[in-house]
Amino acid sequence: MPLLNPYFDYGLFLLGLGVTDLQKSLTDVGLPENVFDWTRTYRTADQEADIARNMSLAATMQTRLNDDQLACFCTITTAITDDPQTAHFYLQGPGGAGKTFLYKTLCYYFRGQGKTVLCVASTGIAALLLPDGRTSHSQFKIPLELNESSVSMITKTSKLGQALRMADLIIWDEVPMQHKYCFEVVHRLLVDLRSVADDVLFGGVPVILGGDFAQILPVVPYGSRANIVHACLQRS
């Protein structure tokens, strides 16, 4: 048996991380799987630096929070620390109110504790304003054609499924414009990945939603006012 080349094997590990978002494995793209489990080494080398950087950013940004932002920050962080399974919030505010700055402060604060924070938004433009932000459809593989029983195709055994199961916090911006079925898909997904009861909201993952219901609501083709209101998150 030939000796294992650690550089080659570590390269395969990094490539494997890259194809995780596509719900594929290295064998799916014609490459062998890495032999050694580089997870601990990878985290030690890269994530410790990220943790220190996030702690510094969070400390700086906390000093710049206004009174309302600071009150929200303290309430949210306390709830997530004390009882994460019931820590679910919605931040309502018009554009320019400072929601994004608060999202980023919360994200850096918890990432500075070594926690996994997923930042998503309903649109690509809004996602660009968040740390490592992605659209909710991309992150959770929400189907484009939705109905009341739609589910995500992410499986428990996939690398993306395993990563989502380890999420400590989800920050989701611009939620008023998304159909309520999107949130129900994510709820079913997290309940399945974490193997908890159906009535455990978002599978027990703390979630911070935000946006402004005075702006655009879900687009319902040829829908009446009643159809549009029925598609809103409050009707879930």
Q: What is the CATH number of the domain that holds 211?
A: 3.40.50.300
- Identify whether residues 100 and 171 lie together within a single domain: yes
Claim to verify: residue 73 and residue 162 sit in the same structural domain: yes
Q: In this structure, are 109 and 202 located in the same domain?
A: yes
Q: Tell me what pLDDT residue 71 has.
A: 96
Strand partners for 134:
120
Query: Does 25 have pLDDT greater than 80?
Result: no
* pLDDT beyond 90 at 33: no
Residues 30 and 55 placed together within one structural domain of the fold: no
Residue with tokens 């969070």: 58
My answer on whether 207 and 129 are in the same domain is: yes
Q: Please count the structural domains in the chain.
A: 2
In which band, very low, low, confident or very high, does the pLDDT at 103 lie, cut at 50, 70 and 90?
A: very high
Residues 186 and 119 in one domain: yes
Does 7 share its domain with 70?
Answer: no
Let me know whether 51 and 30 are in one domain: no
- Kindly state the greatest CA–CA separation across the chain: 69
* C-alpha count within 13 angstroms, C-beta hemisphere, residue 138: 14
Higher pLDDT, 23 or 94: 94
User: Do residues 33 and 105 share a domain?
Assistant: no
- Distance, in Å, from the CA atom of 89 to the CA atom of 206, rounded to the nearest integer, reads 8
Residue 22 included in any domain: yes
CA 56/CA 51 separation, integer angstroms: 9
Distance CA 176, CA 122 (A): 9
Residue 46's pLDDT is 62
Same domain, 167 and 66: yes
Whether residues 133 and 33 share a domain: the answer is no
* 42, part of any domain: no
Residues 6+ apart with CB under 8 A from 19: 25, 26, 28, 29
Q: Which domain holds residue 8?
A: 1-37
Q: What is the pTM of this model?
A: 0.82
